[in-house]
A and B are shown apart, each in its own frame.
Chain A
Amino acid sequence: MLLIHCPYCEDSLPELEFAYAGEAHIARPADPSTLSDEEWRDFLFIRTNARGPHYERWRHISCGRFFNALRDTVSDRFLMTYKAGQPRPQLNEAAE
């Protein structure tokens, strides 16, 4: 079983307690009505679909919190997890 480290519970726990919640760091436009159809489409649907390290959101059922993770989509290895609201870490930070 895959273990995921929850930054709020500060523990590595089984993946069955977690739910995937899409790509991370996609900010909702401050004023959606000013966007063109193409820009709104991109916000809603266009994702990086990364092959390799991917910034993504997860939710932990125990603490009820969303947090962010950097996961390699090829190996399914979690490189790091961090609290929601924290800036996107660089890849070399995750390697440390």
Chain B
Amino acid sequence: MTYEKHHFAAALAVVEDLAPALRLSLRVKPAHSATLGQALGLDLPTRVGARVAAGGTEALCLGPDEWLLTAPEGTDLATPARAVYADAPHSLVDISDREISLRLSGPAVLDLLAACCPRNVAAMPVGTAARTVFDSATVILWRDGPADFRMDIWRSFAPHVRALLAQVQGELAAGL
């Protein structure tokens, strides 16, 4: 009985590793973002935290002149961007290896995040994302569903974040 209860509780919040993906940091003046979006085949969102996806590529607006582009590994976004460089000067940097991504899900995932995120994660609309902090480590938190999140963590902070997540999972499993 005790074992079964523990087993059930362990699924309250699930932490999984996600496969590596292409990540690009795009910096471009707002006046040129439409030109660049056209070249990349999506409308770059202009509201901070908004996301747009098209053809396997997803763009997240991180700031007024900063976007994060994600796509399957091997996608070539540099060539179409380079083609419009003269009209829309920009910086496009491959940061794929800078972060690792985790998928966080389960009925208690909000409690798991609230343990270390000062932001009101429950109030984040589904389909948005935010650069925020997880116990002072900078992370990007994507809300894909009411109880379904992704978290991009700078590689060197990952052991710290993983250890905290494991500790909170343990506390949730113990019913704390």
Contacts and interface: CB of A to CB of B under 8 A. Distances in A.
* A pairs with B: yes
A16 B64 contact: no
A17 interface: yes
A64 B62 contact: yes
Given A9-B49, A13-B119, A17-B119, A61 B66 contact: no
Contacts of B138: 61
Nearest to A6: B48
Contacts of A61: 131-133, 138
B148 to A, nearest CB: 21
Given A8-B63, A62-B62, A17 B132 contact: yes
A13 B123 CA distance: 11
B130 interface: yes
Nearest to A15: B118
22 contacts: A1-B118, A8-B63, A9-B48, A13-B119, A14-B118, A16-B118, A16-B133, A16-B136, A17-B119, A17-B132, A17-B133, A61-B132, A61-B133, A61-B138, A62-B48, A62-B49, A62-B63, A62-B130, A62-B131, A63-B66, A63-B131, A64-B66
Interface of B: 48-49, 62-64, 66, 118-119, 130-133, 136, 138
Given A17-B119, A61-B138, A62-B48, 17 more contacts: A1-B118, A8-B63, A8-B64, A9-B49, A10-B48, A14-B118, A16-B136, A17-B118, A17-B133, A61-B133, A62-B49, A62-B62, A62-B63, A62-B131, A63-B66, A64-B62, A64-B131
